Amino acid sequence: MGEMVSTTTIAPSFLASDFTQLGREAARVDRSGADWLHLDIMDGHFVPNISFGPEVVRVIRPLTAMTFDVHLMCLRPEILLEPFVRAGADRLTIHVELGEQVMPLIWKIHSLGKKVGLALNPGTAMSCVEPFLKKIDLLLIMTVNPGFGGQSFIRETLPKIQQAFAWRRDLGLSFHIEVDGGINFETAAECARAGADVFVSGTGLFGQPSLTRAVQKMRRLVLANGRDLSISAPPMEFKETLL
Ligand code: DX5
Ligand code: ZN
């Protein structure tokens, strides 16, 4: 909280990278002109899949200065917060479905000096996140059911983005509105029109022949479709990098 939302943020999801080449992939995202690296942490309990842990985050940390946006799809995030902070996380997002754990987790993340995100699944009502809006730096609206990359965007989530945008404006808050799941060029533009400002994309970006060009194209599209251009930064120039 505090600063105005002033940028459009493109956050490639590392889950879609080539896991045989993690270091090379982190360096490739770094060169692509993307803003944040989105790191999906799955524990096999909160979601039916396991991804990677703090050690992977630690080894790629020296390869880039990008913001590490850690998305904890985990049943017991309290045991993981410190390890991920030590590993180099800049932002930590927990899920509102954890119920009474949510408020203590928000305090804990703040006490560790990190930005707090709160995520909600497609089936979870917006009323569940409403009590926390003043305490968070980012609201993550899941646009697929979490657990796997490469799923199709769930269109029914679009009104939630509009609701978040309206709440943020009406309450004078500045949390980011992040979308995650099935985000490609087309759905990113739709989410931008609805009011999103952080765009997580895995297969939508890594599936393109050039990550750099894909990031540029997504940025151009969301800037052109953004709901409130006064809070969007002008398009930035990026050096073309051969991949
Ligand atoms: C879904 C994860 C996403 C995932 C998105 O459980 O939270 O971040 O990596 O992947 P795509 O963009 O391929 O849907
Ligand atoms: Zn994610």
Per-residue pLDDT tens digits for 68-87: 999 999 999 999 999 999 99
Burial class (CB in 10 A: 0-12, 13-18, 19+), 122: middle
147 close to ligand 1 (CB < 6 Angstrom):
yes
**Average pLDDT estimate for 160-189:** 98
| pLDDT score at 227 | 85
Name the residues annotated as catalytic. 40, 180
Instruction: Specify the 3-state DSSP secondary structure of 114.
Output: coil
Instruction: Note whether 37 and 71 are within 8 A (CB).
Output: no
| pLDDT score at 6 | 53
Six token digits for residue 177: 């509105």
187 close to ligand 1 (CB < 6 Angstrom):
no
Residue nearest to atom 6 of ligand 1 (CA): 146
pLDDT at 133 over 60: yes
201 close to ligand 1 (CB < 6 Angstrom):
yes
* Residue 182 alpha carbon to ligand 2 centre in Å: 11
